[in-house]
Structures are given as structure tokens and as C-alpha cells.
Amino acid sequence: MTSLQFSHTILRRGLRDIAAALDSDARCYTCPIGSPYISGRYGVVTRSLRLVQIVFSVLICAMVPGGFTPHRVYARQYDPSLFAGLRWRMIGPFRGGRAVTVSGVVGQPNVFYFGAVCGGVWKTTNAGRTWAPIFDSQPVASIGAVAVAPSDPNVVYVGSGEADFRSDICSGNGAYKSTDAGRTWTRIGLDDTRHIGRVLVDPHDPRVVFVAALGHAYGPNAERGVFRSKDGGESWQKVLFKDDNTGAIDIAFDPRDSRIIYAALFQTRRPPWNVYPPSYGPGSGLYKSTDGGDTWRQVTGHGLPSEKLGRIGIAVAPTAPDRVYLIVDAKEGGVYRSDDAGENWQRTDPDPRLWQRGWYFGGINVDPRNQKV
């Protein structure tokens, strides 16, 4: 709209409101007869105050250049070469959404990747001073897991679809792989998993990778559980599966032996009519494999809670692999610790602030140099 059109609009409205204000029919119909109040576009006001508002708007109209000038107004033309040296840059607002996964790179302390739940994969090569989006060419934005192969920093795996079951959850379309440190990507299957909680790469072989897939948020499906690939994602084998209502949320290696694996299954559902989903289905539980994922046994009892058991986060201490930490959403939830590779457990911290929103988050990590932190 030109300044002339804007001015004429203001003027027409002002004159119309003056007529309405002076008309007795414009009185407030919810007020007593003879009331000094009138109704208008901005609510019920006194007649004198409304007249002040109208006069002010007309004065504003008169102050607009050309407001009452009866000729057409044209935008001033500029030589395009004047803008040739300008470049767009982001000036804010610097506000990001949720990010549920981050990965460093062995031997490259300034390089990190993170996945945004609805914003793709980002990379920094200067320890976080600047970040660059490296996943925008792919047909999905929701990221649940990122993992860099410890033995080859050029190999990066991504599991799409966030696994924190908020009411505004974003789904994915499977797993992706890069062999050039994130410059290009290849989709490698698991298309119907929708939500992936963790990707784990063997520390010695970048072709061996495990995926903890939570599955559909709003209903049952078969492509969920723990998947394993021995050929870099060319093919997949479902190695841990409970049922169509139970998926996998976390998985971790024993640092001294990658054949020893801990995995957490999580039975939950995101109902469209409820803000907080049921987060402790009977399929939830902790599992352990000692043969690289070929067979699994469920870890129960010996101090581990079982009533209303929900999401479990897992971390194994690099400097003391027999020490395993869990963050457990349960009736007796909290941080649990085992000092004998999962045979016995003790609750070390019951603080509900750490675990009571298990449907949303449930991560735990151990300092690589200190098993007590």
C-alpha cells in the first residue's frame, strides 16, 4: 500500500467514526440509555475520548508525506550496482530448538556434530565458535542420533527422528551415512523406524553399527528394537526385539570389549489426546549381550527397580568398565550404579528432577577420565 492509499484509508475511517460518534445510534447498547459511553472498534470508551482518538488519527494522516496530495506516489529507483557488494548475514534471534544428540571426534578436539530435533545436522570445526548446517540437502530435518566412527573420523552415521516424546514430536525416515565427514550423505535404510534414540559404532570397525530404534510414536509397528549392520548400513539385522509396541531407546558398549553391549527397551505411546504419554509399558527393560548382539538376556532384580519401569539411559565408565550407570524412570526412579557389570545395583540418587520426565529425556554420561563423575 502506498502512503497515499494508507492516508486515504485513515481519513475515510476517521470521518466514518466521527459520524458514528456523533450519531446517537452509536451509544453503548450494554449501557443505560443516555449513557455518555459509546461502542467502537476498540471497545467501550467515553464519547469525548473517542473523538480525541479520531482527531489524532486524522492528524497522523496529515503528517504522512503526500497524504492529501492528489497525485500518484512512486518508489524511488536505485542503481542495482549500489548493492552489489552487500551480503546477507544472520543477525538473530539466536534461538535454537531442542537438540538431543551430539558427537565429538576422536583425535580432533575442535570438531563436533549435533542434531536438532527439527533442524538437521550441524558441524563445528572451531570448538563451537561457529556452526554450519551440513544436512540441508536431505529430505528430513528431525535428528535423533549422530555418531562418528572412532576408528575413521570421515564416517558419520545419523539416525533421523527425535526420540523425546513431546506433543510436538518430529518423525524421521531412517538412517543416513557420510564417508566424507558430512559433505555428502547416503540414505541406508530403516525407513519405517521413524524415531531413533541412539546410533553406536564399533570402536575398531566403522562398518559395524548398532541402531536403537524406538519406532512409531502413535501406534505399533514392526521396524523397532535394536538393529545391527556389519557392512556399513548395506544390510540390517534386527537383533533385539520385544513386540510391535516396544522399541529401543539407548545402547552402550563395554569400552574394553565391544562384544559386551547394554541396551534399553522402552514401551511408550504418544496419544493425541494427552499431553503426557504413558511412559512405563510392560515391555520396558534393560538387556545385555556378551556376543556382539547375537543373543541377549534381560537384566532384572538385584537392586534394579521393576514397578512402573519406563525409560532407561545407559553409560559405562571408560576407566572402569565394570561400573555401569543408569538413569531410570520408574516408581523408584533415579540414578543407579553397578560395580560388577550389571549383576547388582544400588540407587545413588533418587532426585526426581533427574528422571521424572522420562518420556522427554533420560540421558547420562561418565567422565572419560574419572569413573566417579
What tens digit of pLDDT does each residue of 199-209 get?
999 999 999 99
Task: Tell me the C-alpha distance between 165 and 276, whole Å.
Answer: 9
The answer on pLDDT for 353 being more than 80 is yes
Could you give the number of structural domains in the chain?
2
* Rounded CA separation 174/270 (Å): 19
Same domain (yes/no): 293, 182 = yes
Residues 186-197: pLDDT tens digits? 999 999 999 999
Check whether residue 157 and residue 284 sit in a common domain: yes
Amino acid at 14: G
Considering the domain architecture, whether residues 150 and 31 belong to the same structural domain is answered as no
In a domain, 17, yes or no: yes
The three grid cell numbers given for residue 228, joined into one nine-digit string: 545391527
pLDDT at 34: 43
- On whether both 41 and 172 belong to a single domain, the answer is no
Residue 128 falls within a domain, yes or no? yes
Of the pLDDT bands very low, low, confident and very high (cuts 50, 70, 90), residue 164 is confident
Q: Is 0.95 topped by the overall pTM?
A: no
The C-alpha cell that represents 225 in the structure block: 528394537
Q: Please say which residue of 56, 71, 86 terminates a domain.
A: 71
Instruction: Examine the domain organization and report whether 131 and 217 are in the same domain.
Output: yes
Q: What is the pLDDT of residue 95?
A: 59
Which range, of 22-31, 225-234, 274-283, averages the lowest pLDDT?
A: 22-31
pLDDT band at 332 (very low <50, low <70, confident <90, very high): very high
> In CATH, what number is assigned to the domain containing residue 265?
2.130.10.10
Asked whether residue 260 is assigned to any structural domain, the reply reads: yes
Residue 56 confidence class, pLDDT cut points 50, 70, 90: low
Residue 347 lies in a domain: yes
Q: Are residues 41 and 181 in the same domain?
A: no
Share of residues in the chain with pLDDT > 90 (%): 63
Q: Examine residue 211 and state whether it is found in any structural domain, yes or no.
A: yes
Task: Please give the mean pLDDT across all residues of the chain.
Answer: 84
Identify whether residues 54 and 114 lie together within a single domain: no
Distance CA(365)–CA(285), nearest Å, equals 19
Q: Which residues pair with 228 in a beta bridge?
A: 210, 237
Measured CA to CA, the distance from residue 279 to residue 299 in angstroms comes to: 19
In this structure, the answer to whether residues 146 and 281 fall within a common structural domain is: yes
Judge whether 54 and 18 are in contact, CB under 8 Å.
Answer: yes
Please give the C-alpha separations between residue 24 and each of 31, 34, 39, 309, in angstroms, as whole numbers: 13, 9, 11, 70
Q: What pLDDT is stored for residue 167 in this prediction?
A: 77
For residues 253 and 231, is the Cβ–Cβ distance under 8 A?
Answer: no
Q: Are residues 55 and 198 in the same domain?
A: no
| Confidence category of residue 30, pLDDT binned at 50, 70, 90 | very low
Which of these, 368, 372, 262, 251, lies nearest to 318 by C-alpha position?
Answer: 368
Instruction: Give rounded-to-5 percent helix, strand, coil for the chain.
Output: 15, 30, 55
264 and 312 belong to one structural domain: yes
Q: Is residue 372 part of a domain?
A: no
On the question of pLDDT at 29 being above 80, the answer is: no
Which domain does 289 fall in, by range? 99-354
Q: How far apart are CA 339 and CA 325, in angstroms?
A: 9
Q: How confident is the model at residue 166 (pLDDT cuts 50, 70, 90)?
A: confident
The pLDDT value recorded for residue 257 is 96
Please check whether residue 76 lies inside any domain of the structure: no
Flag whether 89 is in a domain: no
Do residues 39 and 144 both lie within one domain?
Answer: no
Strand partners, 101: 115
- Over residues 22-28, the mean pLDDT reads 43
